[in-house]
Amino acid sequence: MNVNPILLEVFKNRFISIAEEMGVTLNRTAFSPNIKERRDFSCAIFNDEGEMIAQAAHIPVHLGSMPLSVKEAINNIEFNIGDMVILNDPFKGGTHIPDVTIIAPVFVDTRKKPQFYVANRAHHADMGGMSAGSMPISTTIFQEGLIIPPLKIIEKDTLDRKLLNLILNNVRTKNEREGDFAAQFMANKVGIRRICELVEKYNLSTVREYALHLMDYSEKILREFISNLINEKVSFNDYLDDDGQNSEKIKIAVDISIANNTLILDFSESDQQVLGNVNAVYSITLSSVLYVFRSLVDSEIPTNAGCFRPLEVITRKGTVLDALFPAAVAAGNVETSQRIVDVVLGALSKILPDKVPAASQGTMNNVTIGGIDERNNEPFTYYETIGGGMGAAEGYNGASAVHSHMTNTLNTPVEALEFAYPIEVIEYSVRRNSGGIGKYRGGDGIVRDLKLLSDAEVTVISERRKIAPYGLFGGKGGAPGKNIIIEAGTKKVMPSKFSLRLKKGDRVIIETPGGGGFKSE
């Protein structure tokens, strides 16, 4: 079949617009501030083999790993018209337990097998586990919440109320979870309807063919990018502060080489998996690598399965980047993914010095607060990741007070936060002079000061509190972050990862890292 370049562009935008419309539906119908305000969700569409055709511009750590969830569902479930499958198991293509994926088949005409799939993944503010928010300082995945393998949550358009009740009986905020699940179901229904309309307009064979052409197109662009790289082996390593259980730093290392116009990224020298929760499953490592190279390509490349083809990601089973069940993995998704990006960019800076920035803040500064809201005696769980400074690069300073790399969420506006939760925001400001000094200066971090208006359990999972974000080519590193609590009037500096119960009137202050500087002044 000849490829019509105009039609290729049409299909690229039609596929992307379907994923985007799914996201708008999910955003506007969700119950939780984490989804409707922060937009901590992602949507994508897939072909009949589970290969990603298109994604919306949502969360990088979700989207690179979602194909593994879809393929896991395809391999384990016989789909019928009107079915939807739920899963969150990190060892079956998921990321961490709060990220719940809903997958639906798209049947066309009278064909007996799905021709496409639509899927969305949303971070639920609580999925059970040992601490509110399902982001505990854990030592095993069993402490992190309810683990859901691929199961039909909707069968032939009928909701499995027994399964839903089982899930809701294991979470702290039932009504909010049920509302968010309903939003996810509706997002998939929008995707199904739009794909069927596309097929009706162009016919099935044309739609399927151009989905494959788009993958080939993305592969071609990425291979052209690789062909222009200097063909030499480069290496880099960086460290996580600790795992929340022990104080030892944890090495993340990569060797990058090129063979047969394929980039080979070998993470085998990274440390073994640890007792704490910073272990990442393979899908996280793959997702982080995809993000880096997708970001470095200047062309308007559609993000799809073709982007994976020129990349070979090597790990060792049982390491912190390819953990084995039942390792604790809650922070692998949010923290270790950031460090993977840092080491890949650090290695690439040796062959792309004018393109690669210094390290950004390198953490998502996860804060979860949960308890009983004294205003209505109802349970609440608040979850947020907090932005920081971006690394500087050739020709520009790093941006201040923004989310970077593997997170692409918004913040929770002060008004929405104080309306939804028994929390008062005392300060929300730029952390001045926290960016690394250099010819081009790193961006500054954020100060987020929260006062509790009810007794609550507080968990913070963060990084870059001991080891600063690195600068490049003589630029200085950004300032490390700092976690502070004020308990009964006494100020205490806390470690990078902690969980404790605080009283009404106590405060949690998060000072996030600045980005690294670039070049000597």
Residue 58 has pLDDT above 80, yes or no: no
**Residue-level pLDDT at 59:** 74
Q: What is the pLDDT of residue 314?
A: 97
Which pLDDT belongs to residue 521?
A: 85
Give one DSSP letter per residue of 401-421, joined into a string: SB--TT-------HHHHHHHS
438 within some domain: yes
pLDDT per residue over 164-213, tens digit each?
A: 999 999 999 999 999 999 999 999 999 999 999 999 999 999 999 999 99
pLDDT over threshold 70, residue 1: no
Is residue 89 over pLDDT 90? yes
- Under a CB-based contact definition with an 8 Å cutoff, are residues 496 and 246 in contact? no
At residue 160 the predicted structure's pLDDT band, cuts being 50, 70 and 90, is very high
| Position 478 in a domain | yes
Those residues whose C-beta lies under 8 Å from the C-beta of residue 193, and which sit 6 or more positions away, are none
Structural contact between residues 281 and 95, judged by C-beta atoms closer than 8 angstroms: yes
Mean predicted lDDT score pLDDT of the chain:
95
Q: How confident is the model at residue 111 (pLDDT cuts 50, 70, 90)?
A: confident
Instruction: At 76, list the tokens.
Output: 């384990």
Q: Which of 26-35, 57-66, 435-444 has the lowest mean pLDDT?
A: 57-66
Beta-carbon contacts of residue 207 (< 8 Å; ≥ 6 apart): 11, 195, 198, 199
Token pair listed for 68: 């593994």
Region 447-460: what's the mean pLDDT? 98
Q: What is the mean pLDDT of residues 91-100?
A: 92
Q: Domain end: 168, 189, 218, which one?
A: 218
The reply to whether 423 falls in a domain is yes
Rounded to 5 degrees, φ, ψ at 408 are: -135, 30
Q: How many CB atoms lie within 10 A of CB 505?
A: 15
Is residue 127 included in any domain, yes or no?
A: yes
Residue 12 lies in a domain: yes
Cα gap 422→411, rounded to integer Å: 17
| The predicted structure's pLDDT at residue 422 | 98
Mode of pairing for the β-strands spanning 262-266 and 311-314: parallel
Res. 298 pLDDT band, cuts 50 70 90 = confident
Least trusted range by pLDDT, from 4-13, 33-42, 370-379: 33-42
183 φ, ψ (degrees, to nearest 5): -65, -40
Q: Considering the domain boundaries, does residue 44 fall inside one?
A: yes
In the block, which residue shows the tokens 């020129």? 310
Q: What is the mean pLDDT of residues 503-510?
A: 98
The reported pLDDT for the residue numbered 294 is 87
DSSP secondary structure letters along 72-84: HHHHH----TT-E
Per the domain annotation, does 249 fall within a domain? no
Cα–Cα distance, 121 to 263 (Å, whole number): 28
CA proximity to 97, closest of 136, 152, 59, 151:
136
Res 39 pLDDT > 80:
yes
Q: Is the pLDDT score of 253 beyond 80?
A: yes
Do 362 and 214 lie in one domain? The reply is no
Residues 6+ apart with CB under 8 A from 66: 42, 44, 52, 55, 93, 101, 119, 121
CB 360 within 8 A of CB 271: no
- At 56 the pLDDT is 84
Closest by alpha carbon to 184, among 309, 100, 90?
100
Q: Which amino acid is at 307?
A: C
Domain that holds residue 174: 5-218
Q: Which SS3 state, helix, strand or coil, does residue 483 take?
A: strand
Give pLDDT tens digits for 354-375: 999 999 999 999 999 999 999 9
Q: Please provide the DSSP assignment of 273-342 as one string.
A: P-SSTT---HHHHHHHHHHHHHHH--S----SGGGTTTEEEE--TTBTTBPPTT---TTIIIIIHHHHHH
The domain boundary, picked from 164, 191, 218, lies at 218
Are 15 and 164 within one domain?
Answer: yes
Q: Is residue 309 part of a domain?
A: no
Q: Could you tell me if 249 and 278 are in contact, meaning their C-beta atoms sit under 8 angstroms apart? A: no
pLDDT per residue as tens digits for the range 299-357: 888 889 999 999 999 999 999 999 999 999 999 999 999 999 999 999 999 999 999 99
Rounded Cα–Cα distance for residues 263 and 223 (Å) = 9
Confidence bin at 410 (pLDDT 50/70/90):
confident
Based on the structure, what is the number of domains in the chain?
2
pLDDT (0 to 100) of residue 188? 98
Choose the final residue of a domain: 218, 253, 286: 218
pLDDT at 62 over 80: no
For residue 271, give the H/E element and its range: none
Q: Is the pLDDT assigned to residue 150 strictly greater than 70?
A: yes
Q: Closest by alpha carbon to 438, among 366, 381, 377, 520?
A: 520
Same-domain status, 11 and 158: yes
Backbone CA torsion sign across 398, 401, 407, 410? negative
